[in-house]
Amino acid sequence: MNAIGYIRISKRDQSNYSLEFQEDRIREYCTRNKVDLVAIYKDDGECSYSFDRPDYLALEAFIKAHKGKVQYLIIWDHDRFSRNLPEALTKIEQLEKKYGMKVLECAEPLDLDTSDPNVFISRAFKYLMANAELFRIRKRVKNGIRQAQQSGRFVHVAPFGYINSRDGSGRSMLLIDESKAFIIQKIFRDYLNGVPKFIIHADARQLGYNVNGSSAIARTLSNPTYAGLVKVAADKAEPERVVKGVHQAIINEDQYWLVQEKLGIKRVAKSQPKEEFILRGVIVSPCCGSLMTAGWSKGKSRYYLYYRCVRHNNVNIPGKVMHEKFEQLIAHLDFTGEQLAYLISKMKASINESGSVRLQQQQAKEKNLAEIEKKIDKLEERLMNDEIESDTYKKYFKKFNSEKMVLKEEINHLKAGNSELMTAQFEQMKHLLCISAIFKKAEISQQHVFLKRVFKHSLTFIEGVFRTPWIHSLFEHNLLIMKQKRLLFLEQPDGNFGGIPRGGAGGICIARVPR
C-alpha cells in the first residue's frame, strides 16, 4: 500500500507544529502502519482557506499521473489540510470517489470507515473548529493592525518616499528615504501651483518616481502618510479617521489639507485627544487590561476627573492622584550625560550622511543642468545656421527650458536643505538635556507617541504606583530610584510567547515513484 504526505504552515499560522514536526509524525505513522510513503509535499507560508497552493496543486497532479497507485493521503492534523469547512469536505469526497484515495490524519486508524456517519460528523466538527479558528486569527490580525494604526503606526508596505523599518522595540515604523522625499515635495508643490497632473507625473518620472498608472499622482496627493498621519479604517463603531503618526512627515500637514481641498476630497475626521485627559489611550485597566476612558464626575461642590474602565464601571481612579504621580515619573526620564553624548554623536553622523546624500544629488542635478544648457546652446546654433525651422526650435526650446527650470529649482532646494537641516538639528541638540521639559511643551498627540515608545506595553496604575512589563533600555538608569519612590514598578509578563517554529523552504520531497 502506498501513501503520500502533505504538510503545511502559513505565514500567520498559530499552529505550534513546524513542517519538520509534521513530516516526522507522518513518517512514523506510515512506518507504524506498514505503508510505503512515496512522497511528501509541503506548502510553506500558504493560506489554509483555499486549495490554490503551489505544492498542493503539484500533489494533485502527482495523484492524477499515478491514479490507482496511491491509496492514502496522510496529514498530521485536519487543520493542516484546510480551515475551510465546505471546501475541505468537498475535496476529501473528490479524492475518494475520483482517485480512490483515503484522506487520514495521524490520529485516525488506517482502516477508518470514512462512510460512517459518525466519522463524517466528527470530521465536520473538526473542520468547523478549524474554520472558526481561522476567523479568530483574521480578527486578531485585523484588530492588531487597527490597534497599531490607532497608535500612529503605519503597518503596510512603505509608500514611495519612505522605507520600512523597526524601532528599538521591534515595532514597525517608517523612515524617510532622502533620495526620494524631494520628489514627493515637488509633486505637492507643483500641484498647488496649478501644474496639471499628467505633467507632474512626467516630470516626476524623470526624477525617479516609479509609481505607474493614470491615477498615480492622485493617489500620492491623497495619501495622508506624507503629512505624518496614519489613516484608521472605519469599523462598526467608529468612522474612518486619521491620527498623528509616529513617523516623520515629508510635507507640511497644512499643505496636505490644502491639496485635499483642491482635489475635492472631504476632510477625514482627525482624532484629537483632550489635554486634560493626558493618560487616556495610554493607561489600561488593572482589572482586565483594556484601555481606560476618562471624564468628569460631578461631586457636591465641583467636578472631579476620573479614569474609568470601559468594561467595568466600578473601576475608577481619581485623575488628580494619577496625574501627580505621572508628573513625578516623567521627571525621572531625563538622559544621563553619557547617553546625551552618544545621541549627539549619532545625530551628527546622521546629519553628515544625509548631507552627503544631498550633495551627491545636487552634483548629479548640476551635471544634468549643464547638459541641458549645452542642448539649448546647440539648438540656438542650429537655428542660426538654418538647420532647423523656427517652429522646431520653439518646440524643443520650450521643452529644454522647462527641464532647466525644474533642475534649478531642485538644486536650490537641495542647497537650502543641507544648511537648513544641519542648522535645525544642531539647534535641537541642546534641548535634549531635559526630556521632562520637552514632554511638557509637546502636544498631547506627541506625548502619547513618546509614552508608547518608552513603554512598549501600556501603563497600569495599581495602589498608587504605575506598573509596566517593559521600559525602553534608554530609560532604565533611574528605574531603581523610581521603584524606591513608588513611581514605577517593572513587572514581568504572565507568559512567554516565543516565536512560532517554521519549516524549511517549500518544495516537493519525493522518495520515489510508486510502482
Alpha helices in 385-499 (DSSP H): 390-429, 435-441, 444-454, 479-484
Q: Does residue 156 form part of some domain?
A: no
Of 10-24, 114-128, 261-275, 497-511, minimum mean pLDDT range: 497-511
Domain boundary among 432, 457, 473: 432
Looking at the structure, tell me whether residues 325 and 439 fall in a common domain: yes
Judge contact between 279 and 326, C-beta under 8 A: yes
- Across the range 297-304, mean pLDDT stands at 79
Residue for grid cell 465641583 = 302
Looking at the structure, tell me whether residues 76 and 11 fall in a common domain: yes
Q: Does residue 454 form part of some domain?
A: yes
pLDDT in tens, 386-415: 888 888 888 888 888 878 887 887 787 777
pLDDT in tens, 467-479: 998 888 878 888 8
| Beta strands at 162-166 and 172-176: parallel, antiparallel or unpaired | antiparallel
User: pLDDT band for position 116 (50/70/90)?
Assistant: confident
Local structure of residue 161 (DSSP, 8 states):
T
Is the pLDDT at 361 greater than 70? The verdict is: yes
**Cell numbers at 77, concatenated:** 492534523
Q: How many domains does the chain have?
A: 4
Q: Does residue 176 form part of some domain?
A: yes
Looking at the structure, tell me whether residues 427 and 468 fall in a common domain: no
**Cell numbers at 282, concatenated:** 495610554
pLDDT in tens, 242-268: 888 888 999 988 889 889 888 887 655
Is the pLDDT at 10 greater than 70? The verdict is: yes
Looking at the structure, tell me whether residues 428 and 439 fall in a common domain: no
Looking at the structure, tell me whether residues 14 and 104 fall in a common domain: yes
Q: Does residue 97 form part of some domain?
A: yes
The residue segments making up the domain with residue 47 are 2-146
* pLDDT recorded at residue 465: 92
Looking at the structure, tell me whether residues 256 and 377 fall in a common domain: no
Q: Does residue 408 form part of some domain?
A: yes
Looking at the structure, tell me whether residues 9 and 75 fall in a common domain: yes
DSSP letters of 256-272? HHHHHHHHTPPPPEE--
**Cell numbers at 185, concatenated:** 515635495
Judge contact between 348 and 170, C-beta under 8 A: no
Looking at the structure, tell me whether residues 387 and 293 fall in a common domain: no
Looking at the structure, tell me whether residues 301 and 425 fall in a common domain: no
Is the pLDDT at 496 greater than 70? The verdict is: no
- Across the range 479-508, mean pLDDT stands at 61
Q: Give the domain CATH number at 168.
A: 3.90.1750.20
* pLDDT recorded at residue 226: 93
Judge contact between 124 and 89, C-beta under 8 A: yes
Domain boundary among 146, 175, 201: 146
Q: Does residue 212 form part of some domain?
A: yes
Domain boundary among 253, 270, 287: 270
User: pLDDT band for position 427 (50/70/90)?
Assistant: low
Q: Does residue 422 form part of some domain?
A: yes
Residue for grid cell 519538520 = 20
Looking at the structure, tell me whether residues 39 and 122 fall in a common domain: yes
Q: At what angle do helices 85-99 and 117-150 cross, to 10 degrees?
A: 140
User: pLDDT band for position 220 (50/70/90)?
Assistant: very high
| Bigger pLDDT: 119 vs 4 | 4
Is the pLDDT at 14 greater than 70? The verdict is: no
| Beta strands at 303-309 and 316-318: parallel, antiparallel or unpaired | antiparallel
Looking at the structure, tell me whether residues 16 and 126 fall in a common domain: yes
Looking at the structure, tell me whether residues 405 and 457 fall in a common domain: no
Q: Give the domain CATH number at 99.
A: 3.40.50.1390
Q: Does residue 21 form part of some domain?
A: yes
Is the alpha carbon torsion for 186, 187, 193, 198 positive or negative? positive
Phi and psi at 144, nearest 5°, equal -65, -40
What is the percent of the chain with per-residue pLDDT over 70, rounded to a whole number? 84
**Cell numbers at 122, concatenated:** 466528527
